[in-house]
Structure 1
Amino acid sequence: MQRKAYVPGTAALLVALLAGCTSGSTDSGTTDDANPGEAGTATAVAQPGKYRTLPEPCGAVGHGTLDSLLPGLQQITDADQREAAYAGDATLTYDTDRKVGCRWKVESTDATDHLLVDFERVVSYDNAVSDDSQAQTIFATKETAADLPEPTTSATASDTESNSASDSASASDSATPSATPSSSSSASATDSDSPSASASPTGLEPRALSGLGDEAFLDDALSSSGSTAQQRTVTVVFRTSNVIVTIEYEEQPATVGVVPDSQKMQDRARKLAAQLADSLNG
């Protein structure tokens, strides 16, 4: 009887010892797997974007550039009102580290001009997707929404020569809008009177742009509501790393029948875009 009582006790002791060894072996394996130095345990994390902050948007455009884009500024005689017009109005935002913008609106004797500059810093919340890749996706969505026409030979040639054209802008840059789109120098007088010719002058169609940030495109739209003057809106959007910049430049002449000059507006908007890209790359 004593021997029978002893055997179960010994068996229980062996079971306890074996359980302890097994538990220790399991804990050891967990610790080893959690060791960052062990192969196969590290999770690849996509690189963050280049930009962690955004510029102050209303201070991002210099007075000289604003004078070119908004000719009415020089017609404001009151110093305080002119300074307020230069200052612009910040757009509503809830996170200045992610999205900021500024608007300007200036009336002159010849036209009303609007300018919007918007900065968006893209952040990916997926560890497998970098900020740059996420920004590429968002940019592609914007470009698709713009519904750009298929590139043509003339548009490509215009894009290639645009930088030199912007740098050599004539002194008439701040002149009043012309009644016909002078940007299309090869068009006949009959063509320039045509609304369709004014809407898309040769070589100035909406298109992808080269040499501006990592990728860029330009849109140019002419609208009219019959009895009112035609309004032209030139939009330039470019991406550099994880920041997307949008410029919207609008002009509506004070006189019905006057068409804002496409080339002049595109040159101004692209020159501003190049300045903003340079300042971001600082």
Structure 2
Amino acid sequence: MAYVTGTALLAAFVVGCSADTGTGGSAADSKSGTETVAAAAPGKYRTLPEPCRAVESSTLKDLLPGAAELSEDQQRKVYEGTAAVTYDTDRRVGCHWKSEGSSSSHSLSIDFERVVSYDPEVSDDDRAREVYTKKETAAGLSSPSATPDATESAESTEDTESGDGKGEKKQTPPADSDESSGDASESTSHALTGPTPEGKSTDDENTADGAGTPDESLQPRILDDLGDSAFLDDLLTRAGSTAQHRTVKVVFRTSNVIVTVEYTEQPAVSTAVPDSKELQEKAQALARKLVDEFSE
């Protein structure tokens, strides 16, 4: 009888120890374990197109009319374009074309930037949205996507990139972009809305009538039907009293890629003012073709 009782006690002891050990183990695991966070989705695009082949020859002929006055060999060189120098062609590429004509000169540049997030909790698309918003804000424009938080985050990231080197390396803008070059002697104003240089009148070509009433459709603006987000800027630059040129810039984002198109005209006659409407239409037409290429 005593033997049976001892066995029962031993079994109860073993069961009790097992129960205690199980509970203690679970508590320890719950304290020492870490919560697993799913990595943010990667961007849709892993590569970039060859920039100097991204624009069809027929489009280049339309955008660079001065090339038609050149010999066949010279035309071929113009249409080949010049690739921008970048440190990582998987992340950023660009190309530049220029033609000189008897009445005016034209230049075109395109820039493709593939944005990659190094934060596992931030997707490539979200990071690209921040970078795009910073560009949009710098142009003096705003949209529903340009929230204060997004802008603040973009500015913070830009500071990190150019400062301690812990984030992404700061991208080198392509040659001839307004971010990589500048002349203190130049006076630049956004079409219609910017300041008028001293001694100069507002652009009559950019008005709806001769009274100087601005044509709202030509002002720098958000573009609602181009990629995921897009805007257009129009700048008239005057260098001294003899030279002036107009640059229309179209910037759009499609997933984690940001594309910039810059189209510039400089008349040979100093008193002539490039037509905003024509330049804007051509720049937007090219941007739409580039969007379609990414969509294919």
Structure 2 length-normalised TM: 0.67
Post-superposition shift, 1:201? 4.2
1:215 aligns to 2:237 (yes or no): no
Contact 1:183/1:262 (<8 A) preserved: yes
Instruction: Tell me the residue number matched to 2:9.
Output: none
Contact 2:136/2:142 (<8 A) preserved: no
1:187 aligns to 2:204 (yes or no): no
Q: Which has the higher helix share?
A: 1
User: Which of 115, 118, 134 is matched with 1:122 structurally?
Assistant: 115
Percent identical: 51
Instruction: Tell me the residue number matched to 1:135.
Output: 128
Contact 1:214/1:239 (<8 A) preserved: yes
User: Which of 43, 47, 63 is matched with 1:53 structurally?
Assistant: 47
1:70 aligns to 2:64 (yes or no): yes
1:266 aligns to 2:288 (yes or no): no
**Displacement over 6 Å in runs of 4+:** none
Post-superposition shift, 1:181? 5.8
2: distance between equivalents of 1:224 and 1:182? Answer: 16
Post-superposition shift, 1:203? 2.0
1:99 aligns to 2:92 (yes or no): yes
2: distance between equivalents of 1:202 and 1:26? Answer: 70
In the TM superposition, what whole-angstrom CA distance separates every residue of 1:227-278 from its partner, at most 9, and x where no partner exists? 2232101000000000000011111101110010000000000000000000
Q: 1:149 to 1:262 in 2, by over 3 A?
A: farther
SS at match of 2:209: coil
1:7-18 alignment runs, 5 A limit: none
Contact 1:101/1:117 (<8 A) preserved: yes
In the TM superposition, what whole-angstrom CA distance separates every residue of 1:110-158 from its partner, at most 9, and x where no partner exists? 11111110000000000100000000000000001111389xxxxxxxx
Q: 1:207 to 1:67 in 2, by over 3 A?
A: same
1: distance between equivalents of 2:279 and 2:130? Answer: 28
Instruction: Tell me the residue number matched to 2:75.
Output: 82
The alignment covers a number of residue pairs equal to 216
1:249-264 alignment runs, 5 A limit: 249-264=263-278
Aligned residue type for 2:260 = T
Contact 2:54/2:290 (<8 A) preserved: yes
Contact 1:229/1:258 (<8 A) preserved: no
Aligned residue type for 1:139 = Y
Contact 2:81/2:96 (<8 A) preserved: yes
Say which one has the larger Rg: 1
2: distance between equivalents of 1:130 and 1:202? Answer: 36
Q: 1:222 to 1:201 in 2, by over 3 A?
A: farther
Instruction: Tell me the residue number matched to 2:36.
Output: 42
- Unpaired runs of at least 5, structure 2: 1-16, 144-202
Aligned residue type for 1:48 = P
Contact 2:52/2:81 (<8 A) preserved: yes
1:246 aligns to 2:256 (yes or no): no
Instruction: Tell me the residue number matched to 1:163.
Output: none
2: distance between equivalents of 1:207 and 1:91? Answer: 27
Q: 1:47 to 1:271 in 2, by over 3 A?
A: same
Post-superposition shift, 1:82? 1.0
2: distance between equivalents of 1:142 and 1:68? Answer: 28
SS at match of 1:235: strand
